[in-house]
A and B are shown apart, each in its own frame.
Chain A
Amino acid sequence: MNKFLLTLLCLTPLLSACGVSTVDPAPQTLTVFAAASLTGAFDEIGRNFEAANPGVEVRFNFGGSHTLRAQIEHGARADVFASANAEEMEALVQGGFVGAGEAETFLANRLVVILPPGNPAGLENLSDLAGEGIRLVLAAREAPVGNYSVQALDRLDKTFGSGFKGRVLANVVSYENDVKQVVVKVQLGEADAGIVYASDAAAAPELPSIEIPAEANVVAAYPLAALDQAQSPALARDFIAYVLSAEGQSILQKWGFLPVK
């Protein structure tokens, strides 16, 4: 019975001392809260970081930046926060979770319109988004990408005129909680189009897309910071340094993000 209990205890990650290989440094966990759009890229960055730092485990919580910000404000434990906009990071600076001047912009992203495989609604250009009966899915305005989408529509409104923005918004059938859910709804063919980041379009190459011209596009700048509550500030700084390094940046660009100018 005692032996059984001991085995059980050893299985709990809290007790690293019973491990056979006592040579390894004590395992460390780095918890990273990152914008949903970073899912693929940060998974890869996390794996590389773990490989380069034996004994370190990187745990991710991906979600809408607004959701993550709210979770941190309400006591969720995180070491690093990567937001898809400056506002959520600023809110954490104001709330005393991130030191002033700590946040660094580490990448940029732009918007693109994605269409389901085969483009069943036959959309060819941006003005088609205002067509009658088109089912458009956007991210909720609470999420950075939803906010950027509306800004882009504001700018396109000036180009196309005649209530373009209003007609497009009338076609919105759902405001999804984060960008990945917009992608899924388009992938499944439930929606005729969705506005997402170029990085999401790059991660779903099977989906046709319509470019939004640079003058109407919104360039999202992503900030990254270690939180004041970080358990190991040094480890958090190492992770951020890796994201900013040439290697980290090339991974991000591979996933469709733009470098910071």
Chain B
Amino acid sequence: MRPRRSPSHRLVKPDTRSDWLFVLPGLALVVTLGLPLLALFLRAAGGDFFSHALSGTALAALKLSLATSLTSVLISVLAGTPLAYILARWDFRGRAALELLIDLPVVLPPSVAGLALLIAFGRQGLFGSWLAVFGVSLPFTTAAVVIAQTFVSAPLFVRAARIGFAGIDPQLEEAAHVEGANQWQMFSRLMFPLAGRAFVSGAILAWTRALGEFGATILFAGNLEGVTQTMPLAIYLGFERNLDVAVALSVVLVLVSLVLLAVMRQLDEDRVY
């Protein structure tokens, strides 16, 4: 909910003598944030970026990362949309607690998430031992990667969608009801178009988070090329043996994240207030 950048929001500041008080600390931070990324790109440009980015390990990790992160976003959208609607519109006891629970994974350290997942869904885990009865075993599988990613990223989508739904005037919904719209028409004609931007930007945010998931994955899903070794894991292990592959993969991740962020910004920019 960033204020729009219109000239009327700019302050007219007559005194510029103390500008350095703003510029210097700000610049220090910008350099801290920008320099490492610049170094990454320079290092990649200095080597044979494409042959490293297209090496077997890198491609396997890239494919796996795309497949798992998109699956986890799909799950977040399918299950998170009804949940977001409930949170935005229904009034019930324990709603505040539910919101807290849903927001929690966003701030939890990923290692805590991984350990919790392992203790819950591991073979000897609380629920894992039940699943084992049906011959289902999650750790070390691609499904475990998707679960880890969903665990940390779905809350971001639910949050955004909830705010999107809450921003729609309830009177519009009532009017649609009076007009005889059924539940599906209500969502497809009214709610989705109105909350669409919040949806897309929530989904993109969740996607970037899923793409970057590392700690929960390495603990819960392990590390096997083509099965559970996503890009962040390949970067972590590659750092020690083949730095160039790790750098190439990192650059790919930075570029993908940049594009996604730019799309999200554009959506925010276009938002009609």
Contact = CB atoms under 8 A, between A and B. Distances in A.
Interface string B51-83: 000000000000000000000000000000000
B38 to A, nearest CB: 17
A66 B241 contact: yes
B133 to A, nearest CB: 14
B140 A190 contact: yes
A142 interface: yes
Interface in B152-201: none
Interface residues of A, number: 20
Contacts of A189: 122-124
Contact of A67 (B140, B224, B240): B240
Contacts of B223: 140, 174-177
Contacts of A140: 223, 237
A69 B240 contact: yes
B240 A142 contact: yes
Interface string A179-214: 000000100111100000000000000000000000
B230 interface: no
B222 A173 contact: yes
A142 B225 CA distance: 14
The B contact surface, by secondary structure, is loop
Given A190-B118, A190-B122, A174 B222 contact: yes
Interface in B104-130: 118, 122-124
Interface string A97-116: 00000000000000000000
A70 interface: yes
Nearest to A88: B240
A64 interface: yes
A239 B43 CA distance: 38
Interface string A56-72: 00000000101101100
A135 interface: yes
Identify which of B118, B123, B221 gathers the most chain A CB atoms within 10 Å of its CB.
B123
Contacts of A172: 224
A188 B122 contact: yes
A172 B228 CA distance: 12
Contacts of A70: 239-240, 243
Contacts of B227: 173
Contacts of B243: 70
A251 to B, nearest CB: 29
A214 to B, nearest CB: 30
A185 B236 contact: no
A191 B241 CA distance: 26
Contact of B123 (A67, A69, A174, A190): A190
Closest 6 CB pairs of A and B: A174-B222, A173-B140, A189-B124, A70-B240, A66-B240, A142-B241
Interface of A: 64, 66-67, 69-70, 135, 137, 140, 142, 172-177, 185, 188-191
Given A66-B240, A190-B139, 5 more contacts: A64-B240, A70-B239, A140-B237, A172-B224, A190-B140
